[in-house]
């Protein structure tokens, strides 16, 4: 139900995670929201061609989960009812690191330290649960199997979209949630506006993932694990094995810097046998392969600096991967999309309160979107640049925070509050800016000033 209607209709192009969260937020301020996707979205959870990354493990970090639960009260219960595997962070998910088995992703933690609940499911199931909530909103309409060809424009402003079948959807605001390839870049340049500058991190990462049916789904000994490479051997091969809905396992191999996992079954299994730890291969060999391994190559993370633009077409706002997409290794994209959708909601709420219309909305939103993507971008880039083969733009503007984070990491072994803060930051539940609040700033800044992040 609308809180205070700012305008009549919004059209959201792309019904992925960013589009769905956006539609939820917009439904509070628009009489009607039309959610459009080129895919014929299946009624049941599944993979679809518009989101090829959906064949690979998608972890919803606490940062994104918290926003999901705020926007859709009871959302975590939906996930469980739909079959997601509920487990305890810090206990049921572990990482085989060079130092040994660890119960913490960010650092070596050999003993379990149970923390909050986390949920494992396929990307298809997660999207399905969000979509079901969004579709039940009375003022959200869906228009699937409809490719958006181009925007409708009038005097340099976007006034809707033109669909493949030549149908026109008029809208006061169009959200571009079309993902990494951001259709709106072409739209704005055609309208005579400047495209945003980009920062890139050439991380060269590739997945090959398959679905397995295990004899005993519990054989993992928890809900899942990662196998990390051994940097000392210059090894860049890693893996995941996770339990998802329906008592199945998702098994994936990852490689970098041209050492990509093969997708023929023999080559895939050989790659799995070459990992730093044998556990992945041992477990995979006990299960039945349901699908062939499917690849996904991710050459670079890209951040589009919309926040630097001084002019932008009225009636259009890009959001989600269209603004910033990250090396999938760190599981940040969906949470970053959720943070951006929430930031858009904050901007609209301010406008509704001040009885302002949509004029200048994009230029007001971009700095907020930049702010909420600073943490995932800096964390992913800093981790990627640990390997000298990564090239691109190091986030030098975040050097101080990254130095403070390193000092915090050293404190975390003995200080439970420091351990909690570092977990919150790497899972995007809190921003790097939390390091600059008292008492952390006083505790961390002096040592950080004398050390450079490595
Ligand atoms: C291999 C891989 C693994 C990942 N793992 C994780 C993870 O573990 N955790 C995590 O948080 N994130 C992960 N991500 C990132 C995550 O998939 C995205 O960040 C997230 O889905 C937000 O994307 P989006 O909604 O902006 O775009 P997308 O999810 O790509 O959705 C774009 C939508 O737009 C539609 N579309 C495109 N063009 C048109 C058009 N012209 N007309 C109509 N519709 C159109 C598409 O059909 C699609 O539905 C991963 C990414 C990859 C590549």
Measured CA distances, 67 to 50, 295, 386 (Å): 24, 30, 30
Residues 142 and 187 reside in one and the same domain: yes
Residues 209 and 271 reside in one and the same domain: yes
Q: How far apart are CA 191 and CA 189, in angstroms?
A: 5
Q: pLDDT at position 1, please?
A: 47
Q: Which atom number of ligand 1 is nearest to the Cα of residue 207?
A: 1
Number of C-beta neighbours around residue 395 at 10 A = 19
CATH number at residue 100: 3.30.9.90
Question: Quick check: is 65 in a domain?
Answer: no
Q: Which atom number of ligand 1 is nearest to the Cα of residue 55?
A: 1
Residues 39 and 132 reside in one and the same domain: yes
Residues 23 and 135 reside in one and the same domain: yes
Say if residues 29 and 348 touch (Cβ distance below 8 Å).
Answer: yes
CA of 213 to the centre of ligand 1 (A): 26
Mean pLDDT of all residues in 133-150:
97
Say if residues 425 and 431 touch (Cβ distance below 8 Å).
Answer: yes
Q: Is the pLDDT of residue 248 over 60?
A: yes
Q: How far apart are CA 125 and CA 192, in angstroms?
A: 40
Question: Quick check: is 118 in a domain?
Answer: no
Question: Quick check: is 228 in a domain?
Answer: yes
Q: How far apart are CA 88 and CA 90, in angstroms?
A: 6
CA of 438 to the centre of ligand 1 (A): 37
Q: Is the pLDDT of residue 185 over 90?
A: yes
Q: How far apart are CA 17 and CA 12, in angstroms?
A: 12
Q: How far apart are CA 199 and CA 373, in angstroms?
A: 13
Before 405, cis peptide (omega within 30)? no
CA of 89 to the centre of ligand 1 (A): 25
Cα end-to-end distance, the chain, whole Å: 49
Question: Quick check: is 68 in a domain?
Answer: no
Residues 40 and 150 reside in one and the same domain: yes
- Mean of all residue pLDDT scores within the chain: 95
For residue range 385-418, what is the model confidence (pLDDT) as tens digits?
999 999 999 999 999 999 999 999 999 889 999 9
Q: Is the pLDDT of residue 314 over 60?
A: yes
Ligand 1: which of 51, 64, 294 to mutate, judged by most atoms within 8 Å of the beta carbon?
51
CA of 20 to the centre of ligand 1 (A): 11
Q: How far apart are CA 424 and CA 359, in angstroms?
A: 36
For residue range 13-62, what is the model confidence (pLDDT) as tens digits?
999 999 999 999 999 999 999 999 999 998 999 999 999 999 999 999 99
What does the block give as tokens for 66? Answer: 């918290």
Torsion region of 303: left, alpha or beta (phi above 0 gives left; psi -120 to 50 gives alpha): beta
Domain boundary among 382, 411, 439: 382
CATH number at residue 34: 3.50.50.60
Question: Quick check: is 280 in a domain?
Answer: yes
Q: pLDDT at position 4, please?
A: 82
**What sign has the CA pseudo-torsion 37, 41, 47, 49?**
negative
Residues 184 and 167 reside in one and the same domain: yes
Q: Whose CA is nearest to atom 46 of ligand 1?
A: 50
Residues 267 and 399 reside in one and the same domain: no
Q: Whose CA is nearest to atom 41 of ligand 1?
A: 148
Mean pLDDT of all residues in 258-263:
96
Q: Is the pLDDT of residue 2 over 90?
A: no
Question: Quick check: is 61 in a domain?
Answer: no
pTM for the full model? 0.96
Question: Quick check: is 56 in a domain?
Answer: no
Question: Quick check: is 231 in a domain?
Answer: yes
Residues 42 and 128 reside in one and the same domain: yes
Domain boundary among 298, 313, 343: 298
Measured CA distances, 310 to 175, 194, 198, 291, 363 (Å): 19, 9, 15, 48, 7
Residues 218 and 236 reside in one and the same domain: yes
For the ranges 95-99, 330-334, 374-378, the lowest mean pLDDT is seen at 95-99
Q: Is the pLDDT of residue 449 over 90?
A: no
Q: How far apart are CA 90 and CA 77, in angstroms?
A: 21
Mean pLDDT of all residues in 333-337:
98
Q: pLDDT at position 413, please?
A: 84
What percent of the chain has pLDDT above 70? 98
Q: How far apart are CA 281 and CA 287, in angstroms?
A: 10
Residues 36 and 132 reside in one and the same domain: yes
Residues 291 and 227 reside in one and the same domain: yes
Mean pLDDT of all residues in 259-286:
97
Q: pLDDT at position 60, please?
A: 96
What angle do helix axes 333-353 and 17-26 make, rounded to 10 degrees?
20
Domain that holds residue 328: 7-51+124-198+300-382
Residues 372 and 313 reside in one and the same domain: yes
Indicate the number of domains in the chain.
3
Q: Which atom number of ligand 1 is nearest to the Cα of residue 332?
A: 11
Q: How far apart are CA 360 and CA 364, in angstroms?
A: 6
Domain boundary among 357, 382, 407: 382
CA of 16 to the centre of ligand 1 (A): 6
CA of 105 to the centre of ligand 1 (A): 24
Q: Is the pLDDT of residue 453 over 90?
A: no
Q: pLDDT at position 451, please?
A: 58
Q: Is the pLDDT of residue 77 over 50?
A: yes
Measured CA distances, 399 to 107, 176, 396, 403, 421 (Å): 20, 31, 5, 6, 18
């Amino acid at each position: 139900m609308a809180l205070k209607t700012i305008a009549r209709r919004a059209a959201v192009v792309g019904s992925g995670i960013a589009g769905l969260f956006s539609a939820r937020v917009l439904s509070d301020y628009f009489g009607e929201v039309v959610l459009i996707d080129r895919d014929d979205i299946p009624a049941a959870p599944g993979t679809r061609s518009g989101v090829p990354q959906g064949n690979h493990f998608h972890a919803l970090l606490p940062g994104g989960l918290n926003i999901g639960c705020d926007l859709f009260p009871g959302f975590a219960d939906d996930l469980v009812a739909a079959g997601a595997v509920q487990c305890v962070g810090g206990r049921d998910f572990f990482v085989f690191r060079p130092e040994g088995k660890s119960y913490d992703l960010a650092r070596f933690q050999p003993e379990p330290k149970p923390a909050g609940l986390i949920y494992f499911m396929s990307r298809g199931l997660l999207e399905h649960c969000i979509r079901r909530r969004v579709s039940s909103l009375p003022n959200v309409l869906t228009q699937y199997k409809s490719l958006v060809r181009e925007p409708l424009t009038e005097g340099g402003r976007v006034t809707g979209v033109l669909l493949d079948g030549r149908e026109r959807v008029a809208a006061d605001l169009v959200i571009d949630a079309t993902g990494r390839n951001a259709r709106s870049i072409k739209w704005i340049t055609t309208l005579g506006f400047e495209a945003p500058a980009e920062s890139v991190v050439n991380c060269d990462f590739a997945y090959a993932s398959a679905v397995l049916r295990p004899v005993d789904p519990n054989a993992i000994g928890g809900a899942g694990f990662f196998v990390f490479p051994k940097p000392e051997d210059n090894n860049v091969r890693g893996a995941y094995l996770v339990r998802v809905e329906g008592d199945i396992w998702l098994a994936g191999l990852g490689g970098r810097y041209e050492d990509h996992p093969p997708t023929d079954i023999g080559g895939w299994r050989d790659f799995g046998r070459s990992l730093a730890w044998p556990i992945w291969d041992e477990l995979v060999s006990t299960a039945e392969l349901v699908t062939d391994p499917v690849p996904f190559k991710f050459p670079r993370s890209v951040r589009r600096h919309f926040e630097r633009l001084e002019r932008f077409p009225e009636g259009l706002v890009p959001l989600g991967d269209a603004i910033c997409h990250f090396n999938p290794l760190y599981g940040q994209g969906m949470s970053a999309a959720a943070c951006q959708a929430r930031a858009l909601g904050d901007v609209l709420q301010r406008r509704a309160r001040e009885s302002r219309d949509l004029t200048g909305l994009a230029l007001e939103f971009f700095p907020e979107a930049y702010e909420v993507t600073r943490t995932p971008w800096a964390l992913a880039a800093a981790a990627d640049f640990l390997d000298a083969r990564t090239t691109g733009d190091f986030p030098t503007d975040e050097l101080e925070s990254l130095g403070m984070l390193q000092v915090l990491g050293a404190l975390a072994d003995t200080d439970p509050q420091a351990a909690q803060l570092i977990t919150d930051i790497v899972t995007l539940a809190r921003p790097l800016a939390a390091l600059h609040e008292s008492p952390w700033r006083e505790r961390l800044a002096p040592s950080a000033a004398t050390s450079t992040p490595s």
